[in-house]
Amino acid sequence: MTTETVNLPIIDLSSSDSISSAASIRQACIECGFFYLVNHGVEEELFAEVFDQSSNFFSLPLEDKLKLDRKHHSGHSGYTPLFSENLDFASSSKGDSKESYYVGNLYDPTQSHLNKWPSEDILPSLRPTMESYYRKVLSAGKRLSSLIALALNLDEDFFDKVGALNKPRGFLRLLHYPGELGSTDEEIYGASAHSDYGMVTLLASNGVPGLQVCRDKSKQPRVWEDVLHIDGAFIVNIGDMLERWTNCLFRSTLHRVMPAGRERYSVAFFMDPNEDCVVECLASCCSEESPPRFPPVRSGDYLEERFRLTNAI
C-alpha cells in the first residue's frame, strides 16, 4: 500500500500580516496539528553546524555516550541508547531504533549544570553550537506563540501573561536513526507512534524521509501519511498541553518515524510552559456542548508524569 503525503500549510514567521498567518495556523492546528514554518531566523549555516555536531556526537564510542546516560542523571538531560525507549504502550516492539541526546535548561544559569556534555577535549564545538541554536529556536518559538495566541482569539501576549514563556521549559533533542533495516520479523520503528507532551515542537531534519502522521487516531486500521521535508523549514506540531489548553480544538497529532534504510538525523525543540504555569482549558474553547475535558494541571507535574511513564518501560 502506498502512503499518501499530507498537505500542510507553510507559515511565514516574518510576514507582517499576522492576522492572515494566525488564520492559517488556526486552520492547520484544527485540521492536523502540524504545519511548516519558514523565515524563522535560524540560518542555513547554523542548521548545517548543528547536524555536523550531532553526527560527531553520535559517532563517539558507545562507552563515552553511556557516561552521559540520561537514566543516571537528574534533570532529564543526557543520552538515550538504541532500543531504550518505546513511546507506544500498545506496541510490543523491542523499542525504538533510535539514539538520542537531550539538552535543556539552557535559559537558566542556575539550571544549566543539569546538562551533561561530553568533554570539551573531544567535542569542543558541540556546546556552543547547541547553545546558539537553542537561543534562536526559542526566539522563533516565542514569536510563534504570539501567532498561536492570535489564532485562538487571545491577546498576542497571552502565553507570557499566564507565565508560560517566562523561563519556558525547552529541551533540544538530537536524534539519530541508523540506516540499516535489519532482518527480523518484528516490526521495528525509528520512533513508535506518539504525541508530544508539551506546548509546541519545532523539528528540523537532514532530509531523510520517515516522519508520518495519523490524523485520526480513532480510525482503525490507522491511516499514516508522510510528512515531506522542506529545506530550511521547521516542521511544527502541537503538543498535548496545548491540546489541553484548547480543550482539544487544536490537535496533538500522533506521529512516528519509519526506518527509511538511510541514516536520519533530526533535532526536535520541545517548547514547554514554565513548570509553575497552570494549564487550564480556555474559556473560549469551552461551551455548554463542549465542557472542559481536563482539570487544570501544573505544567511541571504533568510533564514529570509523562516522562515517568515513558521511562518506566
Ligand X SMILES: O=C(O)CCC(=O)C(=O)O
Q: Which residues bind ligand X (CB under 6 A)?
A: 173, 175, 191, 196, 203, 205, 211, 255, 257, 266, 268
Residue type, 13: L
Distance in Å, CB of 205 to ligand X, minimum: 5
Toward ligand X, which CB reaches closer, 11 or 203? Answer: 203
d(Cα 234, Cα 105) in Å, to the nearest integer? 21
Select the binding partner of residue 211 from Fe ion, ligand X, none (C-beta < 5 to 8 A, by kind): ligand X
Pattern of binders to Fe ion over 193-222, x per CB under 5 A? ---x--------------------------
Select the binding partner of residue 65 from Fe ion, ligand X, none (C-beta < 5 to 8 A, by kind): none
Phi first, then psi: give them for residue 194, nearest 5 degrees: -160, 165
Pairing of β 234-238 and β 264-272: unpaired
Distance in Å, CB of 144 to ligand X, minimum: 17
Select the binding partner of residue 175 from ligand X, Fe ion, none (C-beta < 5 to 8 A, by kind): ligand X
Q: Which residues of 129-149 are buried (b: 16+ CB within 10 A; e: fewer)?
A: bbeebbebbbebbbbbbbbbb
Toward ligand X, which CB reaches closer, 5 or 153? Answer: 5
Toward Fe ion, which CB reaches closer, 99 or 196? Answer: 196
Pairing of β 225-226 and β 211-214: antiparallel
d(Cα 36, Cα 7) in Å, to the nearest integer? 10
d(Cα 97, Cα 82) in Å, to the nearest integer? 6
Select the binding partner of residue 244 from Fe ion, ligand X, none (C-beta < 5 to 8 A, by kind): none
Q: Which of the residues 54 through 73 are near Fe ion (CB under 5 A)? A: none
d(Cα 104, Cα 270) in Å, to the nearest integer? 9
Pattern of binders to Fe ion over 168-197, x per CB under 5 A? ----------------------------x-
